[in-house]
Amino acid sequence: MASRLKPADPAEVAAAQARIAAGTPDRADLRLLTKHYLAVLEERAPGRSVEVRVPPYAAVQVIEGVRHTRGTPPAVIETDAVTWLALATGEVGWTEAVDSGRVRASGERTDLAPYLPLG
């Protein structure tokens, strides 16, 4: 089961975003921002019916509904860190990301459009 994450310090988020915008990000920046925006999603969409995975950095369970406790969740969203950050910041829309195959979503309640962008 995914654990609860905590949003990152705003100064750390701003610094990581600046390095990414300048074209000089590293894995630590991707990890920090991925976990930060997943934590924000947890706060805005509490629940345990959908698992959002951004390997290799983190996974969270969100959105009200049937609680998942063991095995593969009935609703899963998976994407890479770059796509997750683009979704979280509004650089790409949910429908565009799903239609292009950058996001894989299966099961009920896997439309994150009402919660995006996150920051």
| CATH 3.40.1380.10 is right for the domain spanning 10-115 | no
CA distance 55 to 58: 6
Confidence of residue 2 (pLDDT cuts 50, 70, 90): very low
Confidence of residue 1 (pLDDT cuts 50, 70, 90): very low
If DSSP codes are grouped into helix, strand and coil, which group holds residue 57? coil
Confidence of residue 68 (pLDDT cuts 50, 70, 90): low
What is the separation of C-alpha 60 from the centre of its chain, rounded to a whole number of angstroms? Answer: 8
What is the side-by-side strand order in the sheet with 50-54?
58-62, 50-54, 76-79, 103-106
pLDDT digits (tens, 9 = 90+) for 79-116: 999 999 999 999 999 999 999 999 999 998 999 999 99
pLDDT digits (tens, 9 = 90+) for 16-25: 999 999 988 7
